[in-house]
Chain A
């Protein structure tokens, strides 16, 4: 079972028509009959396939055996993931998750958004203190307090939306003008470089959160905050909320402020590193809160 990503590599297959197979126990990538790279399954934590290529069944088997995350993207969105048979779902956790979903929806939703708002506040506050400017972060702080007194999912979502307005305004002020960032755009509407980078970052984050949720024994499709829709891993979206700002926004913001052009290099964007250990720990905390009835405490960045 993979857990931490301690100095393991992540592999991206981005060349159209690449061929992945196993040779002498090593996962090897060929491009036009030439060997492009070759790695031991011990060395890697994930294989992310970004384009059309061939993958031999032996590679899929090895990935399962070594707990390597094997994901296929279409565009910048993960569309499928190979999950080993013995890897996930604990019956006891699922039963309690269903009970929690019936009885404690708002309680969990509040905590996810409290974590999200708190971490957004921390991100903006960092720059406010660093440069002695104001980005209205105190509004977000206030909302993070208010959200805890909400009594409905709608109320929680409203606070989230209000926070987002302040937050992205702040981010816009921190970004170099040449990026022409007008505000946050969702997938499909994102045309400017920073929004596209954010979308890629969130995709990569969702990949890790999904794995963490599975390994904690939770069911990724039963969310508390996000509505259930067939085939949508709502719980992944729930747990992602608290990590978006500290793990993706903050890193991309750093890169963008230093050298906006470098966001054009997709390797930089796909390659931003997450503290995976933190995500796995948080997923276990969530499973624990679901099981024991204790209060869930979100990930609060510093």
Chain B
């Protein structure tokens, strides 16, 4: 049983923000905006990612803003998303050639 998760963050310090985005990439999430990632995750992977993000927060002891939101949505809801953008949404290719 997996759900779509949308992860938003708002972090002032560059190095902390980069650590967070690198971490999310490493965990297989897809970047949809500068500070927004999405991914199709099961509950154990969500817990793992949550723990990983908390660990980064603890280690970095950042003085600036540090806020992360993890929001679950169903696949149906996710398909109903509205995108207003001047970039073509990239097709999700399942082959890397």
Contact = CB atoms under 8 A, between A and B. Distances in A.
Interface string B64-97: 0000000000000000000000000000111111
Contacts, number: 44
Interface stretch (B7-15, B23-31, B54-62): B23-31
Contacts of A267: 95, 97
Contacts of B93: 9
A170 to B, nearest CB: 30
From A12, A25, A270, residue with most partner B Cβ within 10 Å: A25
From B22, B92, B93, B97, residue with most partner A Cβ within 10 Å: B97
B94 A26 contact: no
Contacts of A270: 95, 97
Contacts of A44: 96
A8 interface: yes
Nearest to B2: A6
Contacts of A10: 94-96
A11 interface: yes
Contact of A273 (B22, B26, B28, B94): B94
A86 interface: no
Interface residues of B, number: 13
A37 interface: yes
From B22, B93, B96, residue with most partner A Cβ within 10 Å: B96
A43 interface: yes
Contact of B28 (A14, A43, A271): A43
Interface of A: 7-12, 14, 24-26, 37, 39-44, 267, 270-271, 273
Given A12-B96, A43-B28, A270-B95, 18 more contacts: A7-B94, A8-B94, A9-B96, A12-B97, A24-B25, A25-B22, A25-B26, A26-B25, A40-B26, A41-B28, A42-B27, A42-B28, A44-B96, A267-B97, A270-B97, A271-B95, A271-B97, A273-B94
